[in-house]
Amino acid sequence: MNFNWTDNVVTRALSKICDMVCLNVLWLICSIPIFTIGASTAALYTVMLKLVKNEEGYIFRGFFKAFKENFKQSTIMWLIILALAIVWWVDFNFAGSLGGNAGFVLTVIFILLGILLLSVMIYVFPLTARYENTIRSTFRNALILTIAKLPYTLLMILILVAAVVLSFWTVQTLMMAIPLWMLIGVSLLAWIYSWLLRRVFTIFEAAGEESDKQ
């Protein structure tokens, strides 16, 4: 009996890992044109948010269905974020080149703005995957979650920054990290985020239950 239980756990774990590898490869392939990264990420979260609840169904079918359904909205949001990131990078470097107190103050301000932009980017695609909303409402909800669920926001930023820093720590770690990111890294990060986001999204689900009661 114990053997059967152990065998079942190992089989389910290997099945999850296989699903995550497949999702990672799908995300990479569908992100190659660059401008499709938003749609690819939304599709990844559509499947992953179900995966953490053991409701995954068909991985490939679910991914491509979500990719198609969210393509327009997710692409527009991705291009907006990309444009804002480029503007932020230019302004951040300009502030750093000023020197003195003014340069220091501006640098701190742009670091905070960069954290805010990163937070919004973390939230918008899972929100698109989970809820039907306009682009404006999705960005607004991402800002709400950034502040209302600040501990989760900071934790997800810390996880992302730690993963990137460790990957680029040395040439050796980078050489090991590249195949890991290509094989399972992105989907593993999305899996961790999805566990956290299940708790984060309770702020909207609780509000929805309250409105239903009224």
Tell me what pLDDT residue 58 has: 82
Token match 């900071």: residue? 154
SS (H, E, C) 131-161: CCCCHHHHHHHHHHHHHHCHHHHHHHHHHHH
pLDDT in tens, 10-42: 777 788 889 899 999 999 999 999 999 999 999
Tell me what pLDDT residue 54 has: 75
The first and second tokens of residue 100, run together, are 């003195």
Quote the pTM value.
0.87
